[in-house]
Amino acid sequence: MDDLRIRDRNSLAEQLAAARQRIAELEATLSQLEHRDPLTGSLLSLRSFRAQLELDVARADRYSRPLSVAVLDIDRFRQLNLDHGYAAGDAVLMAVGRLIAERTRMNDLACRMGNDEFAILFGETDGSEALEALQRILVELEDLDAGSVRGVGVSVGIASLQPGQRPESLLAAAASALEQARAAGGSQAAVFAATPAVATADLAELRQGNVIAALASALEERDRYTGEHSESVVDLTARVGDALAMSAEEIEQVRTAALLHDIGKVGVPDEILHKPGKLDEREWEIMRQHPVIGERILRAIPGFGAIARMVRHEHERWDGSGYPDGLTATAIPAGSRIILACDAYHAMTSDRPYRKAMPHTEAMAELTANAGSQFDPDVVQALVGYLFGRRQAGLAAV
C-alpha cells in the first residue's frame, strides 16, 4: 500500500512539473508574440519598437552619437488590394517585412507601424548612410516576388537625430520626409530637411527627368534610328494606355518604358546593331539579349523597377513564344504588351535598310491577324481604334 502511495505521489509530481514546464513555455511564447508583429513575424511590434526607440534616442543624445529613423510606406497599397485581393496584400506585407529584416543589420530595429507602413531604427548611422542602405532595399523591393504580385514600390522618409530631439519629433520628421518622397512620385527615399516639400519634389522630378533624358540621348547617339523610333512609339503607347483606362501615373511609366525600351541595344556590338542586311541566327541570339541588358541598366536606378520590368518583357508574346522568359497573356506586364504592339506598328510602317515601309492598311491587318498570338487582343483593339480614328480625322481635314 505504501509503495502505491509513493508511486501516485511521484506520478502527480511529474505531472505538476510537466504542467509548470508547459505553462513556462506558453508564457515565453506569449511574451515573444507580444514583442513581434503578428502578421510579419519577422519584425518587432510597434509597442516594442517605441520602447526601444525611447532608450536609443536618450542614449544617442547623451553621448552625441548619430542615429537615424526611416518610415517606409508601400505605394498604392489600397489599389494593390483591390486588384489582387487582401490575401495577396498580406503576402506582400510579409514579404516586405522579411526583406527588411534580412537586409538590415543585427543592431538595427524594424517594425510594422500600421497597415502598410514600416519603420527602421538605424543606430550609429547618419542620414546619408541610412539613405544609401535604403536605396539598396528599394531596388530589391522593386523585384520582389510575393505570390501574384511582382515588384513593390515603396516611398521612404529618413530623419537623423538632432540634439535634444524627442522620439516623437524624430518620427514626425521622418514622416514629413516620407510625404516629400510621395510628392515626388513615390518609389524613392527622401531625407528630412527644413525646406518645403514642393521644392524637394521638384528637385527629385528634375533629377529623374535628367536621368531619362540622358539615357534617351545615349540611345540616340548609339543608333539614331533606334532613338527616333523609340520617341515615335511613346505617343502611341500613351494613346493606347488612355484607351485602356490606365491611370495618369501608369501611362507615364509606360511612356518612359517606351522611350527607353531599346536602351539595352547600347550593349549590342556595332557590327550587329548597324548590319545593313538581315541578321543570322547567331547574331539574333545576341540581339535578343538587349531587353535583359536594358533591364539591368534601369534596375540600378531607384524608382525604375516597374519600368525595368516592362523593358525586360517588351518582346514577350501573348501565346508564350516570345523572349526572354516565355511569359504568356496577362503574366506579361501591361506596359510591355502595349509597347510590343505599338513598336511593331511603327517598325512595319518605317523604312529600314533591308526593306521598304509597309502601307498603313497592311500594318493594321497584320496587327489584327496576330491578335491573340503575338499581341494582346485588347491592346490591338485599342491601337487599331486609335489609328483608325486618327486616319479618319486626317482624311476629314483634307
Question: Virtual CA dihedral for 124, 127, 129, 135, nearest 10 degrees?
Answer: 130
- Does the active-site annotation cover 265? yes
CB-CB contact of 303 with 188 (8 Å): yes
Q: How far apart are CA 357 and CA 316, in angstroms?
A: 24
Point out which residues pair with 349 in neighbouring strands. none
CA atoms within 13 A on the CB side of 100: 31
Return the ∠ at Cα 249 (arms to 152 and 259), rounded to 5°.
95
Q: How far apart are CA 284 and CA 59, in angstroms?
A: 62
- Nearest CA among 258, 205, 250, 251 for reference residue 230: 258
CB-CB contact of 56 with 123 (8 Å): yes
Point out which residues pair with 71 in neighbouring strands. 119, 157
For CA atoms 205, 208, 214, 215, give the dihedral sign: negative
Q: Side chain identity at 4, as an amino acid letter? A: L
Catalytic choice (265, 275, 278, 356): 265
For residue 276, give the C-alpha cell: 545593313
- Nearest CA among 287, 290, 336 for reference residue 309: 336
Catalytic residue list? 265
